[in-house]
Amino acid sequence: MAGGDETRLALDLSNLTATPQTLEVHLNAEGQLNLSGLSSQTLTLSPGQRSTLQVPVKALGGYGTGKLTVTVKGLNLPGETLAPFTREWTLGVRPAYPALLKHYRAVLNDQPWTLPEGELQAFEPAGREALLSLSSRPPLNLGEQIRALKAYPYGCSEQTTSGLYPALYADAALLKRLGLEGEPDADRKRKIELGIERLLGMQRYNGSFGLWGADGQEEYWLSAYITDFLLRARDQGYAVPPDALKKASERLLRYTQERNLIESDYSDNLDHTRFAVQAYAAMVLARSQQAPLGALRSLFERRSDARSGLPLVQLSIALQKMGDQPRAEQALVAGLAVTRAADQWLGDYGSPLRDQALILALLEENNLMSGQREARVFALSDQLAASQWLSTQERNALFLAGRDLLGQPEQPWTAQLVSGSQTRELNPAQAGLKLEGPLLASPLSLRNEGSVPVYQQLTISGYPQHAPPAGGENMSIRRDYLGMNGEPLNLKNLQSGDLVLVHLAVTAKQRVPDALVVDLLPAGLELENQNLGQSAASLENASSQVKQWRESMQNAGVQHQEYRDDRYVAALNLEGYGTTHLLYLARAVTPGTYRVPPPQVESMYRPNWQAVGETPADMVIKGR
């Protein structure tokens, strides 16, 4: 259910005794569930009689669970004294609308900072929380990067890998400093083990990796990224099958030696894409002294192919580890001087922010250019402040760039948070704080109690009280709820059992090779058919327009689909012309009134390219 949904739960009571029973039924709702009717009822059941009580409930906003407790009193059996009979059920509650994030950055000197009045009212109270980060250095908002990576609900090979890095490197002590609650060590280790298993399930026959599975296209840069993680996990003591690592390393070796092996369906500069793959593969291999020096020197001669500094820095580290210090120094100087253009897609999952963050992480990890690193932190923080949306690549790069900074000494500082009636002191030992409940209230202010400037980052996250306006950048999405004849349905008058054909129309002005479509289902609908794209029987009586859409879907660049309990997900390659049509079938099941989530589409690695479609406010399903 979603916040605001109203429905009726059916409670069956049967008298299996030989005597009449007069029962008192008491109902109690907790968490994010409210009773909409009476909390107690009395009913009489004859021997063998069955009765169904309708329990009207309403879901509250936010994300969590609601619990319904039923207590039955008065059960009478000859010669026995029976205690009340109790049963509990839980219902998941999720927001109807996409998550909302608001960022507030400031430098605290002698004047306090105050959260603007009314800002908290944009969020549903349930599920509203914030992460506060303070530092004498410009913040990279590590706590928020870790939280967002952990919460990301989809799992291609890149997203899986990026989401595992914080689990690999962020222990409970680091999380506590950031204001986050760490999971038990056994759970963290199990998460990494399951992640490794999932990644190995995406390894292709030749040692490379696919984006969504082993049967997908070879992902060259990602193969180096995943192999890098697997080797790091092995070095941390996790079990990674040697054969899988051997195959992956052999594939990376071929990348370094055979430039033309590397292809790209979509890159604004194929020479850079090949250079980036080769440089990353070389660095991964050089850590274990497996990178051929001749191949590295040949790559160095083509350093002008690079359109970003990151692969040059990676090549520099590979050359240094393989013993060619002069070329390593030249490549490093060149890499630190190159800036990536923001308007180019280079087939390496990167962006100016991602590349600069990974460069900083590599400089710290390899103890290079210590005199420049502080200035690079300031520049990276400015880039972060200008970025409204972040990809999983960017978030993990920021985490890797910032994790070593936390271990370095900083100037002493103290600050005080006042939130409603609550007060907290912060300092370098406790630089982060999670705010929720009474600790996230108005008025909220921060004051620097020392003389050292303190950089503040406050991120409030939660779910909006109202549907977001339709619109977006570069892309658009439209959804139609249709009958099987292709005609629009009256969403205020659906009958339980009705089939609903859902049509999604997605367009892009510029090509988006990594589009992700997400359509959350209203709680009263259930997915009916998981293979509609190849099914003709269910659409025999559909209109010619619907049949054209089905043929279009079969020919579309759909790379991956998921049919979950509460949503339909599709990853696809959107061309910069025409319309991509997607279809899936659902069934109206449970009577009630339900909020209708809007359809969404985003570019996974150009996160500012995203769109939200229009949506009706409610869907009403009536019983037959």
Q: Which domains does the chain have, with CATH numbers?
A: 6-93 (2.60.40.10), 258-394 (no CATH), 471-622 (2.60.40.690)
| Overall average pLDDT of the 501-522 stretch | 93
What pLDDT shows up at residue 536?
Answer: 42
Task: Find how far residue 253's CA is from the centre of its chain.
Answer: 32
* pLDDT band, very low/low/confident/very high, at 434 (cuts 50, 70, 90): very high
Quote the CA–CA distance of 180 and 418 in Å, as a whole number: 19
SS3 content of the chain, % helix, strand, coil (to 5): 35, 30, 35
Residue 85 confidence (pLDDT) above 70? yes
What pLDDT shows up at residue 556?
Answer: 78
Q: Which pair of tokens denotes residue 135?
A: 């530092």
Lowest mean pLDDT among 72-76, 288-292, 300-304: 72-76
| Overall average pLDDT of the 65-73 stretch | 92
Counting Cα atoms < 13 Å in the Cβ hemisphere of 199 gives 33
CB 437 within 8 A of CB 130: no
| Overall average pLDDT of the 565-589 stretch | 90
| Overall average pLDDT of the 326-334 stretch | 97
Quote the CA–CA distance of 25 and 12 in Å, as a whole number: 12
* pLDDT band, very low/low/confident/very high, at 196 (cuts 50, 70, 90): very high
CB 212 within 8 A of CB 156: yes
What pLDDT shows up at residue 537?
Answer: 41
| Overall average pLDDT of the 362-377 stretch | 91
| Overall average pLDDT of the 323-344 stretch | 94
| Span 214-253, pLDDT tens digits | 999 999 999 999 999 999 999 999 999 999 999 999 999 9
CB 463 within 8 A of CB 62: yes
CB 524 within 8 A of CB 588: yes
CB 277 within 8 A of CB 255: yes
* pLDDT band, very low/low/confident/very high, at 539 (cuts 50, 70, 90): low
What residue spans of 386-513 are helical by DSSP H? 392-403
Max Cα separation, the chain? 96
For residue 329, count other CB atoms closer than 10 A to its CB: 14
Question: 95: closest CA among 605, 487, 567?
Answer: 567
| Span 513-534, pLDDT tens digits | 999 999 999 999 998 865 544 4
β-bridge pairing 471-472 and 610-612 = antiparallel
Let me know how many helices (H) and strands (E) the chain has, helices first: 14, 28
DSSP 3-state assignment of 281?
helix
Residue 327 backbone dihedrals phi, psi, to 5 degrees: -65, -35
| Span 458-478, pLDDT tens digits | 999 998 888 889 999 999 999
Residue 71 confidence (pLDDT) above 80? yes
Residue 502 backbone dihedrals phi, psi, to 5 degrees: -100, 125
Residue 48 backbone dihedrals phi, psi, to 5 degrees: 80, -5
What pLDDT shows up at residue 552?
Answer: 81
What pLDDT shows up at residue 535?
Answer: 46
Q: What is the DSSP string of 127-173?
A: T-EEEEEEESS----HHHHHHHHHH-----HHHHHHHHHHHHH--HH
What pLDDT shows up at residue 178?
Answer: 83
What pLDDT shows up at residue 543?
Answer: 73
What pLDDT shows up at residue 139?
Answer: 78
What pLDDT shows up at residue 174?
Answer: 83
Q: What is the CA radius of gyration of the chain?
A: 28
Quote the CA–CA distance of 99 and 276 in Å, as a whole number: 34
Q: What percent of the chain has pLDDT over 90?
A: 65
Instruction: Kindly state the DSSP code that residue 464 receives in the 8-state scheme.
Output: B
DSSP 3-state assignment of 310?
helix
What pLDDT shows up at residue 314?
Answer: 98
Q: Which pair of tokens denotes residue 169?
A: 């490197």
| Overall average pLDDT of the 23-28 stretch | 92
Kindly give, in sequence order, each residue whose CB lies less than 8 Å from that of residue 37, ignoring residues fewer than 6 positions away: 55, 56
Quote the CA–CA distance of 531 and 534 in Å, as a whole number: 6
Q: Which pair of tokens denotes residue 304?
A: 């002008």
DSSP 3-state assignment of 45?
strand
Residue 65 confidence (pLDDT) above 80? yes
- What rounded mean pLDDT belongs to the chain? 91
What pLDDT shows up at residue 540?
Answer: 64
β-bridge pairing 494-495 and 618-622 = parallel
What pLDDT shows up at residue 324?
Answer: 96
What pLDDT shows up at residue 77?
Answer: 85
CB 515 within 8 A of CB 600: no
What pLDDT shows up at residue 548?
Answer: 83
